Amino acid sequence: MPKKGAIMAYPIAKKLFFPLRWIWIRKINGIENLPKGPFIFAANHGSFLDDLLLPMIIITTINRYVHIYCNDEYFRNFFLRKFLEWGRVIPVRVYECSEKKAINKKAYKKALRYLQKGEPIGIFPEGHRSPDGRIKKAHTGIGSLAAAANVPVVPIGTKGTFRVWPKGTALPRLKKIVVIQIGKPFVFKNKNPRQITVKVMQEILKLAK
């Protein structure tokens, strides 16, 4: 049975996902690696398409909400903010400013609460979409959250999303070239956030080749 929070998200995501899958996704590998309990997924971020496809894949597989870290700049638009709030995303500050530490601390605490309730969290460790499709240096937020929550981390590598919808373009191209590789989950005994982040990104790089 779906959890209460997924009652609305699941059928809508399912109806949207299957048409979108036929348009863009060529292959999904490792779907069986998604855990039943709480987990954190971490993926490379080449395109807005990642924000659409990955949550839909996970929601339709595990029948639960997945809470994605999202740049809080997108909350400035009223209609987009309402959509993001409905999707229960977690706003984070990705650019430097005096409020960044406080905003991201609040996001971290919210993510921990969701994980404690058994609900998955999604993070793009690079923070921004890649401007050229290549994977960039990660922030250590994924490492800090994984160390504190002690839940499995599922690395995901995406290929082709940048070619479909590169940064700076208004609309995605109609190309069925996207490949999504879901890696095996692992729990870190080492609680060093930086070392966890390095390991996660190494796994993502392997999967995104």
Q: Is residue 93 part of a domain?
A: yes
In DSSP terms, 28 is beta-bridged to 180
Task: Determine the Cα–Cα distance for residues 50 and 161; give it in Å rounded to an integer.
Answer: 7
Averaged confidence pLDDT in the chain: 89
Task: Determine the Cα–Cα distance for residues 87 and 154; give it in Å rounded to an integer.
Answer: 21
Q: Is residue 108 part of a domain?
A: yes
pLDDT of 12? 63
Q: Is residue 145 part of a domain?
A: yes
Q: Is residue 159 part of a domain?
A: yes
Banded pLDDT at 20 (limits 50, 70, 90) = confident
Q: Which two tokens stand for residue 60?
A: 């339709």
Query: In terms of pLDDT, which residue wins out, 47 or 2?
Result: 47
Q: Which domain holds residue 62?
A: 6-207
Asked if 93 and 99 count as a contact pair (C-beta separation under 8 A), the reply is yes
Per the structure, the count of domains in the chain is 1
Q: What is the CATH number of the domain that holds 183?
A: 3.40.1130.10
Banded pLDDT at 56 (limits 50, 70, 90) = confident
Q: Is residue 1 part of a domain?
A: no
pLDDT of 14? 65
Segment 164-190 shows an average pLDDT of 93
The pTM for the full model equals 0.90
pLDDT of 5? 44
Segment 113-119 shows an average pLDDT of 94
Segment 190-196 shows an average pLDDT of 91
Q: Is residue 180 part of a domain?
A: yes
Q: Is the pLDDT of residue 132 over 80?
A: yes
Q: Is the pLDDT of residue 7 over 70?
A: no
Q: Is residue 198 part of a domain?
A: yes
Q: What strand order describes the sheet that includes 178-182?
A: 25-29, 178-182, 153-159, 40-43, 121-123, 67-71, 90-92
Query: In terms of pLDDT, which residue wins out, 74 or 32?
Result: 32
The burial class, CB within 10 Å (0-12 / 13-18 / 19+), for 168 is: exposed
Residues 6+ apart with CB under 8 A from 79: none
Q: Is residue 42 part of a domain?
A: yes
Query: In terms of pLDDT, which residue wins out, 37 or 85?
Result: 37
- β-pair type (178-182, 40-43): unpaired
DSSP for 41-101 reads EEE---SHHHHHHHHHHHHHHH-S--EEEEEGGGGGSHHHHHHHHHTT-EEE--S--TTHH
Banded pLDDT at 82 (limits 50, 70, 90) = confident
End-to-end CA, the chain: 36
pLDDT of 8? 45
Banded pLDDT at 6 (limits 50, 70, 90) = very low
